[in-house]
Amino acid sequence: MVSMVPVVEADREEFLCIAVDHFSELNPAFVPQTDWKQRYFPSILSNQNYCLRWIVCDGKRAGFILFGVEDHRFLPRKTGAIYELYVLPEFRRHGVAKACALEAIRELWTHSPSKIQLEVVEGRTAAAALWKSLGFHKVTERFVLERSVP
């Protein structure tokens, strides 16, 4: 049994610990900077367009999902977005991510966005396979230029 329940202010420390695990798994060099520690969680909770939910499996917190609706950059429409989906390793390969993804997609469509988009980190083949199995397709490659530290 999988469900999603809102993450609330009282969950801050537990959420941030799990989020650090998530981002460290995506990028082993991830180190939470001061601004991340101070602003990441409150910025999410204060935005009414974001939905941050615990993934609960058999009564245990199994990860989290962050999704929402945002204004299109240039046009008078909305875009749905799935920003993060993280399932703790011990809950993977049991359909947990798929069940939560489907629920988030269903909820996003109720806001009538023109599309739903997401990003998959390079090399995350299982994540890419999940999203493809749900009908998503690759439309771009994203490149990033990071500031060099002198």
- The one-letter amino acid code at 106 reads R
Percentage with pLDDT > 70 across the chain: 99
pTM value?
0.93
Task: Give the long-range contacts of residues 75-79, CB within 8 A, separation 24 or more.
Answer: 77/113, 77/114, 78/111, 78/112, 78/113, 78/114, 79/113, 79/114, 79/115, 79/116, 79/117
How are beta strands 60-71 and 2-6 bridged, if at all? Answer: unpaired
Architecture of domain 2-133: 3-Layer(aba) Sandwich (3.40)
Query: Would you say 58 and 1 are in contact if contact means Cβ atoms under 8 Å apart?
Result: yes
Secondary structure element (H or E) that encloses residue 25, with its range: helix 12-26
pLDDT higher than threshold 80 for residue 149: no
Which phi and psi angles does 80 have, rounded to 5°? -85, 150
More confident residue, 146 or 21: 21
Distances in Å between the Cα of 53 and the Cα atoms of 61, 71, 75, 82 are: 10, 21, 29, 12
- What pLDDT sits at residue 146? 85
- What pLDDT sits at residue 147? 81
